Amino acid sequence: MFVDEVEVFLKAGDGGNGCRSFRREKFIPKGGPDGGDGGKGGDIILECSPHVNDLRDYRYKPHARAQNGQPGRGSDCYGRHGADCILKMPPGTVVLNIYTQRIVTEVLSIGQRIVLLKGGKGGLGNIHFKSSTNQAPTQATPGKPGEEGRFKLVLKTIADLGLIGFPNAGKSSLIGQLTKAQPKVASYPFTTLHPSVGVLSEAGGRHLCLADIPGLIERASQGKGLGYRFLRHIERCQGLLFVIDMAGVDARKPWSDYKKLCQELKNYGEPLVNKQRFVIANKMDLPEAIENLNVFKSKVQDVPILPISCYNGSGLKELRTYLFIGTPYPLHWTYQQRL
């Protein structure tokens, strides 16, 4: 099960209490104060890990606490600091305050560590209160409580290019042909139930990260079907690949499909409107596709159109070449910088 949104309660460790103690040694009848400080509480730390794909771990364990600091002891012994609680997050995780719905932080690059909640400071032992006028202090301070909060974790997949299209347009087949990803492929709609990410590699060591988004349908931006829930996964993409069924299978009209997809992106909001776009004209092995492609080109002249067939593999080599060297800017830089 793919989980891309959870609510969690997190608490950093409390600081240990300071100690109130006096020396008791043989032949030293009037020992002074020797109470040590309490240890600092552990922090809540978010770590971006390449080995985590979604947020399912936090669906079943929504509470996490760091260790408390140990109290101070006599003989000038300071308490041990509490252990930090390190939470592994997939790249692209957004952390929101559950009450204000404001973004607290974002986990973006692999290896990145963010201290989300700080542990409480340890209390002072009575050794700190000794002075010439107060040679036997009896006061010590308690440890400070650690920070806590309720948060919503929202995953927005990081990819260079996002594949969008209507159900059965061939998005899963395409990402399976171009990368080593193995999404489920079948002849019925909504085969893809969650985003699938694959890496397109070139011999020169360049890479492109592709994200296959579950099929959109009309009024997806209003919550219909699966599309709205997963549209946020292409917010971070630099470009969008519109996979269009150019053969018009199931009585589909390529030009109408493209217009509806553009409208759904516009309805979703500004983050998706101004992204670079490409059209992948799929199913060109079928006879109806050539005529439909000519009509489509006459109506869409401001977007690159790349004809392919996932069935027989035609056009895939040219598509690979275009994505790496035919685009106006080097999309692969984004993925390399995250490694």
d(C-alpha 72, C-alpha 19), whole Å: 5
Rounded mean pLDDT, 64-75? 94
Domain boundaries, the chain: 1-155, 161-338
The larger pLDDT score, comparing residue 247 to residue 149, is at 149
Measured at the CA of 335, the angle between CA 331 and CA 339, to 5 degrees, comes to 155
Provide the pLDDT for residue 91.
Answer: 87
- Lowest model confidence (mean pLDDT) among 171-175, 240-244, 305-309: 171-175
More reliable by pLDDT, 199 or 290: 290
pLDDT of residue 267: 81
User: For residue 112, what pLDDT is reported?
Assistant: 92
Q: Is the pLDDT of residue 251 over 80?
A: no
pLDDT of 262 reads 85
Q: Which CATH number fits domain 161-338: 3.20.20.70, 3.40.50.970, 3.40.50.300, 3.40.50.720?
A: 3.40.50.300
C-alpha distances in Å from residue 37, one per residue of 66, 67, 75:
19, 17, 11
338 band by pLDDT with thresholds 50, 70 and 90: very low
Please tell me the CATH code under which domain 1-155 is placed: 2.70.210.12
pTM of the model: 0.73
Would you state the pLDDT for residue 188? 47
Give Cβ neighbours of residue 82 (< 8 Å, ≥ 6 apart).
13, 14, 16, 39, 40, 41, 42, 66, 67, 68, 69, 70, 119
CA 4 to CA 59: how far, in whole Å?
10
Percent residues over pLDDT 90 in the chain:
28
Residue 195 burial (C-beta neighbours within 10 Å; 0-12, 13-18, 19+): buried
- The yes-or-no verdict on residue 7 having pLDDT over 90 is yes
pLDDT-derived band at 187, boundaries 50, 70, 90: low
For range 125-150, the mean pLDDT: 91
Least confident of 77-81, 100-104, 141-145, 325-329: 325-329
Helix (H) or strand (E) holding 289: helix 288-299
Alpha-carbon distance 22 to 74, whole Å? Answer: 7
pLDDT on residue 335 = 34
pLDDT digits (tens, 9 = 90+) for 30-56: 778 989 999 999 999 999 998 888 888
What is the DSSP code string of 298-322? Answer: HH--SS-EEE--TTT-TTHHHHHHI
Q: What is the mean pLDDT of residues 206-228?
A: 64
When mean pLDDT is compared over 250-259, 277-286, 316-325, the highest value belongs to: 277-286
Predicted confidence (pLDDT) per residue in 288-308, tens digit:
888 888 888 888 888 888 898
**Predicted pLDDT at 53:** 80
Give tens-digit pLDDT for 200-214.
877 666 777 787 877
Q: What is d(CA 118, CA 140) in angstroms, rounded to the nearest whole number?
A: 22
pLDDT band per the 50, 70, 90 thresholds, residue 183: low
Please determine whether the domains at 1-155 and 161-338 fall in the same fold group of CATH: no
The β-bridge partners of 11 are: 65, 148
* pLDDT in the model for residue 253: 86
Predicted local confidence at residue 332, as pLDDT:
38
**Mean per-residue pLDDT for 111-115?**
93
| Strand partners for 105 | 95
Q: In what order do the strands lie in the sheet with 113-117?
A: 85-89, 44-48, 113-117
Mean pLDDT over 301-318 rounds to: 86
> Which of 63-67, 102-106, 222-226 bottoms out in mean pLDDT, i.e. has the lowest?
222-226
pLDDT attached to residue 193: 56
- Whether the pLDDT of residue 271 is over 50: the answer is yes
For 112, the token pair is 């990145």
